[in-house]
Amino acid sequence: MTTVKTYMRPMAGWWRKNPFFVRYMIREASAPLFYLYALWLLAGIVALATGPSAYAAWWAVAKHPLMILANLVVLVFAVYHTWTWFSVLPKTTPELDVAPGALITGGIVAAVVACVALLAFAWGVTR
Amino acid sequence: MAESTKTIEIECLRFNPETDSAPRYQTYKVPFTDDMSVLQGLQYIKDELDGSLTFRWSCRMAICGSCGSMINQVPHLSCETFLRDYYPGKLRVEPLNHFPILRDLAIDQTDFVRNKLPSIKPYLIPKQQKTLEQGEYLQTPAEMHKYYHYSECINCLLCYAACPQYGLDPKFTGPAAIALMHRYNADSRDGGRAERAELANSDEGVWGCTLVGYCSEVCPKGVDPAHAVNQNKMASAVDYFLRFLRPYGGKR
């Protein structure tokens, strides 16, 4: 074993020292936002089940400009999260005879198609 | 050496364990030509400016894995990184992150060499032992293709310097060791996966990874350790759910 004196550098602020780590931390730190957003949607369902007045109250908060702004912020991070998620897809699949770039593009295209289909469906049933 | 036309500033981390309580930085002005690597810049400093600067190197052609260092906070082999790419700016050369500094740019690799590497049993554990008379263990090119690029690791430790999880928790087995574990598990001649599974499936194994992915970015040999680690998360999850039917890892 080593017996000479060594110096161990501290890890404080590690993620600010490299843009790659900053992008990683934004990806990871955005996850709790989606948790909160899911709770907010769940609150809407509970309000709907409780009765018309509770649902009207939830809806009034949902229409508040600050809430719309919060929705936009979550949307921006959701898009970023989706993009970074598919960017690491080639690291998580088994060995495939597909180019990593094709996997990433395929994932992002699938996500866009799924979002458009869901929006079209929601548009169709709520009109 | 060809005629020098330009001069670049190289800032080196200096640490002398006999006199210093913390590292400091020292800047050297190094004349260079376009074909000079950062390693050659360091060699110029040692030969011409300051013989006390300590750093490791051997092959100077990205094979031995000795000269890894942080160059402007990015892990590189200094032999295949060129001074011209930093000019007219300056460059800061530091020892690889996340390892104890022995002296100047030399790190202490004991944790990898003594602990991490042996822990994954980096050798073939044959499914069935053959005697010499029974001949060699044969393998098709397709079977070799499944693990070959994982076998190209040169133990340069750039991936450990790129892995914040290893920096935050040195108990994590780390990218290169897990990539080598996958190299043996994926080998058709090997039957040692069960012996390696207890470590692989633990928090110190594949689950210590949070898929930062920087290890694969910095790997000079295209080993793609992040892919090796994260494929084995799926294998580990399968082991977890099938553990009563197909118990890997023995005592748990």
**A2 in contact with B, Cβ within 8 Å:** yes
If you measure CA to CA, which chain B residue comes closest to A27?
A: B212
The region that residue B115 occupies, defined by phi over 0 for left and psi between -120 and 50 for alpha, beta otherwise, is: alpha
Binary contact (A91, B146; C-beta < 8 A): no
- Side chain identity at residue A74, one-letter code: V
Please name the residue that has the structure tokens 């649902």: A55
**A21 in contact with B, Cβ within 8 Å:** yes
d(CA A110, CA B114) in angstroms, rounded, equals 46
Judged against a pLDDT cut of 70, whether residue B252 lies above it is answered with no
Chain A residues in contact with B212 (beta carbon < 8 A): 20-21, 24
Chain A residues in contact with B224 (beta carbon < 8 A): 91
What digits encode the pLDDT tens for the residues A30-58? 999 999 999 999 999 999 999 999 999 99
Domains belonging to chain B, first-starting first, are 6-107 (3.10.20.30), 110-241 (1.10.1060.10)
Binary contact (A6, B110; C-beta < 8 A): no
Share of chain B above pLDDT 90, in %: 86
Query: How many residues are there in chain A?
Result: 127
SS3 of chain A: helix, strand, coil, percent, to 5: 80, 0, 20
Q: What is the 3-state secondary structure (H, E, C) of B76-110?
A: EEHHHCEHHHCCCCCEEEECCCCCCEEECCEECCH
What digits encode the pLDDT tens for the residues B144-189? 999 999 999 999 999 999 999 999 999 999 999 999 999 999 999 9
Instruction: Average the pLDDT over B10-18 and give the result.
Output: 96
Binary contact (B164, A21; C-beta < 8 A): yes
